[in-house]
Amino acid sequence: MKHIVVAVDGSAGSGHALEEAVKLGKSFAEPPKITVLHVDPSVAMVEPPFGVDPDERIEEEGRELLKPIEATLEASGLEYAAMLRKGDPAREICEFASRESCDLIVMGTRGQSLAAELLLGSVSHKVIQHAPCPVMTIR
Protein backbone atom coordinates (compact mmCIF):
# COMPACT_ATOMS: atom_id res chain seq x y z
CA MET A 1 0.00 0.00 0.00
CA LYS A 2 1.48 3.29 -1.13
CA HIS A 3 -1.29 5.89 -1.02
CA ILE A 4 -4.40 6.31 1.15
CA VAL A 5 -6.92 9.10 0.60
CA VAL A 6 -9.07 10.18 3.53
CA ALA A 7 -12.22 12.12 2.71
CA VAL A 8 -13.05 14.68 5.39
CA ASP A 9 -16.03 16.98 5.88
CA GLY A 10 -15.70 18.13 9.48
CA SER A 11 -18.09 15.49 10.83
CA ALA A 12 -17.33 13.13 13.70
CA GLY A 13 -17.30 10.26 11.22
CA SER A 14 -14.58 11.85 9.11
CA GLY A 15 -12.55 12.49 12.28
CA HIS A 16 -12.78 8.78 13.10
CA ALA A 17 -11.80 7.96 9.51
CA LEU A 18 -8.67 10.09 9.86
CA GLU A 19 -7.75 8.35 13.13
CA GLU A 20 -8.15 4.92 11.51
CA ALA A 21 -6.14 5.92 8.43
CA VAL A 22 -3.27 7.14 10.63
CA LYS A 23 -3.33 3.87 12.65
CA LEU A 24 -3.38 1.86 9.45
CA GLY A 25 -0.58 3.92 7.92
CA LYS A 26 1.62 3.43 10.97
CA SER A 27 1.07 -0.35 10.87
CA PHE A 28 3.04 -0.79 7.63
CA ALA A 29 6.81 -1.32 7.52
CA GLU A 30 6.85 1.25 4.71
CA PRO A 31 4.06 3.69 5.63
CA PRO A 32 1.92 4.96 2.76
CA LYS A 33 1.36 8.60 1.93
CA ILE A 34 -1.93 9.89 3.31
CA THR A 35 -3.82 12.54 1.40
CA VAL A 36 -6.66 14.26 3.18
CA LEU A 37 -9.29 15.48 0.74
CA HIS A 38 -12.04 17.96 1.54
CA VAL A 39 -14.57 18.68 -1.18
CA ASP A 40 -16.61 21.85 -0.98
CA PRO A 41 -19.96 21.03 -2.58
CA SER A 42 -21.01 23.24 -5.45
CA VAL A 43 -23.84 25.47 -4.32
CA ALA A 44 -25.97 27.27 -6.87
CA MET A 45 -27.27 30.63 -5.70
CA VAL A 46 -29.81 32.67 -7.57
CA GLU A 47 -28.76 35.86 -5.86
CA PRO A 48 -25.73 35.87 -3.54
CA PRO A 49 -25.74 38.17 -0.51
CA PHE A 50 -24.53 41.68 -1.31
CA GLY A 51 -20.83 42.17 -0.61
CA VAL A 52 -20.18 38.49 0.10
CA ASP A 53 -18.39 36.13 -2.27
CA PRO A 54 -19.94 32.76 -1.35
CA ASP A 55 -17.29 30.76 -3.23
CA GLU A 56 -14.50 32.56 -1.39
CA ARG A 57 -16.25 32.06 1.94
CA ILE A 58 -16.77 28.34 1.34
CA GLU A 59 -13.15 27.88 0.30
CA GLU A 60 -11.97 29.73 3.42
CA GLU A 61 -14.09 27.44 5.62
CA GLY A 62 -12.54 24.43 3.88
CA ARG A 63 -9.01 25.71 4.56
CA GLU A 64 -9.92 26.29 8.22
CA LEU A 65 -11.34 22.77 8.46
CA LEU A 66 -8.03 21.34 7.17
CA LYS A 67 -5.75 23.17 9.65
CA PRO A 68 -6.27 20.90 12.69
CA ILE A 69 -6.22 17.84 10.43
CA GLU A 70 -2.84 18.87 9.05
CA ALA A 71 -1.58 19.34 12.61
CA THR A 72 -2.68 15.78 13.46
CA LEU A 73 -0.93 14.40 10.40
CA GLU A 74 2.22 16.41 11.10
CA ALA A 75 2.35 14.93 14.60
CA SER A 76 1.88 11.41 13.20
CA GLY A 77 5.17 11.53 11.34
CA LEU A 78 3.54 10.11 8.20
CA GLU A 79 4.01 11.62 4.77
CA TYR A 80 0.86 13.55 3.95
CA ALA A 81 -0.84 16.11 1.76
CA ALA A 82 -4.03 18.10 2.26
CA MET A 83 -6.19 18.88 -0.74
CA LEU A 84 -9.21 21.10 -1.21
CA ARG A 85 -11.52 20.52 -4.16
CA LYS A 86 -14.86 21.88 -5.27
CA GLY A 87 -17.76 20.02 -6.82
CA ASP A 88 -19.79 16.90 -6.23
CA PRO A 89 -18.06 15.19 -3.26
CA ALA A 90 -18.52 11.57 -4.41
CA ARG A 91 -17.36 12.32 -7.94
CA GLU A 92 -14.37 14.37 -6.80
CA ILE A 93 -13.26 11.69 -4.30
CA CYS A 94 -13.45 8.93 -6.92
CA GLU A 95 -11.75 11.01 -9.62
CA PHE A 96 -8.95 11.98 -7.22
CA ALA A 97 -8.42 8.35 -6.16
CA SER A 98 -8.29 7.26 -9.79
CA ARG A 99 -6.01 10.07 -10.98
CA GLU A 100 -3.58 9.58 -8.07
CA SER A 101 -3.67 5.75 -8.20
CA CYS A 102 -4.74 5.54 -4.56
CA ASP A 103 -4.81 2.11 -2.96
CA LEU A 104 -7.57 2.85 -0.44
CA ILE A 105 -10.23 5.45 0.32
CA VAL A 106 -11.10 5.91 4.00
CA MET A 107 -14.20 7.90 4.89
CA GLY A 108 -16.81 8.32 7.56
CA THR A 109 -20.48 7.52 7.31
CA ARG A 110 -23.29 9.52 8.80
CA GLY A 111 -25.12 6.41 9.94
CA GLN A 112 -28.28 7.06 7.91
CA SER A 113 -30.95 4.42 7.99
CA LEU A 114 -31.22 2.22 4.92
CA ALA A 115 -34.47 3.96 3.95
CA ALA A 116 -32.91 7.42 4.18
CA GLU A 117 -29.88 6.28 2.21
CA LEU A 118 -32.07 4.77 -0.51
CA LEU A 119 -34.18 7.92 -0.78
CA LEU A 120 -31.51 10.56 -0.34
CA GLY A 121 -28.34 8.70 -1.25
CA SER A 122 -25.11 9.30 0.56
CA VAL A 123 -21.62 10.32 -0.42
CA SER A 124 -20.13 7.17 1.08
CA HIS A 125 -22.61 4.95 -0.76
CA LYS A 126 -21.85 6.65 -4.09
CA VAL A 127 -18.10 6.38 -3.48
CA ILE A 128 -18.41 2.67 -2.68
CA GLN A 129 -20.29 2.15 -5.95
CA HIS A 130 -17.86 4.10 -8.17
CA ALA A 131 -14.45 4.00 -6.48
CA PRO A 132 -11.47 2.68 -8.44
CA CYS A 133 -10.06 1.06 -5.29
CA PRO A 134 -11.26 -0.45 -2.00
CA VAL A 135 -13.22 1.84 0.35
CA MET A 136 -13.13 1.61 4.15
CA THR A 137 -16.06 3.31 5.85
CA ILE A 138 -15.92 4.28 9.52
CA ARG A 139 -18.83 5.19 11.78
Annotated domain spans of the chain:
3-138
Domain 3-138 has CATH 3.40.50.620: yes
For residues 33-49, average pLDDT: 77
Question: Which of 18-32, 43-57, 116-130 is predicted with the least confidence, judged by mean pLDDT?
Answer: 43-57
For residues 17-40, average pLDDT: 96
> In sequence order, what are the beta bridge partners of 138?
108
pLDDT classification of 56: cutoffs 50, 70, 90: confident
Which range of 41-50, 85-94, 102-111 scores highest in mean pLDDT? It is 85-94
pLDDT of residue 44 exceeding 90: no
Rounded Cα distance, 47 and 37, in Å:
29
The pLDDT score that the predictor gives to residue 54 is: 65
Predicted TM-score (pTM) of the model is: 0.85
pLDDT of residue 93 exceeding 80: yes
Rounded Cα distance, 42 and 31, in Å:
34
